[in-house]
Amino acid sequence: MADTEADYLLHQDGHIRPNALCEGVEQRYRAAKTERDRMWRGHAALLLAQAFRTHPWLAAFRLCITVSFEYDDSGGYYRTMYLSAEAAERSPSGPLPGDEFPDGEWNSDQAQVLVESMLEDDCYDIYEALASDPASNDDLTLHLERARIAPLLDREHVSGEAILAALLPELDPGSQQAPSV
């Protein structure tokens, strides 16, 4: 290994330490990871906002992601996540489309099914981006309200950071701290 490449070195005293170039790589990695995590949180916030933009009749809902471990037939365990949209509330200004509400009347259960079907494929991404510690496997509950982001939804384009700051102000934009409920 040339001295011009990042590497870890085993010293005579038995300790392993990075060379100067390795320390630079580690610093750049941490900076890139911080930036990527910020972008990931914004993307997750946009996934949630998309439910409000797609469904103008939706005023608020509680998003719950439950984490559990399942046993498989080969003797191992794997982590599963279940997403539910609970306590869906109707926006008085949003029309109820006949294809989503065939009776033309508000049905909270139907609203929850529609929101869940929209978000369930992104459950893992939302959890990994917004859970305070994704490795802890704690459940995640978020209370989401259209009113917090309504002005942003009227724009042609809106950034994930702007949605995150408005929709989930309890999240510190510089960290992965999520509300615990």
pLDDT tens-digit map of 85-102: 999 999 988 889 888 898
- Does residue 176 form part of some domain? no
Range of the domain at 22: 18-171
Domains in the chain, number: 1
Residues contacting residue 100 through CB under 8 Å, at least 6 positions apart: 55, 57, 110, 114
- Does residue 119 form part of some domain? yes
Q: Tell me if the pTM is above 0.85.
A: no
- Does residue 179 form part of some domain? no
Does residue 163 have a pLDDT over 60? yes
107-129 pLDDT tens trace: 999 999 999 999 999 999 999 99
- Does residue 181 form part of some domain? no
- Does residue 12 form part of some domain? no
- Does residue 159 form part of some domain? yes
- Does residue 6 form part of some domain? no
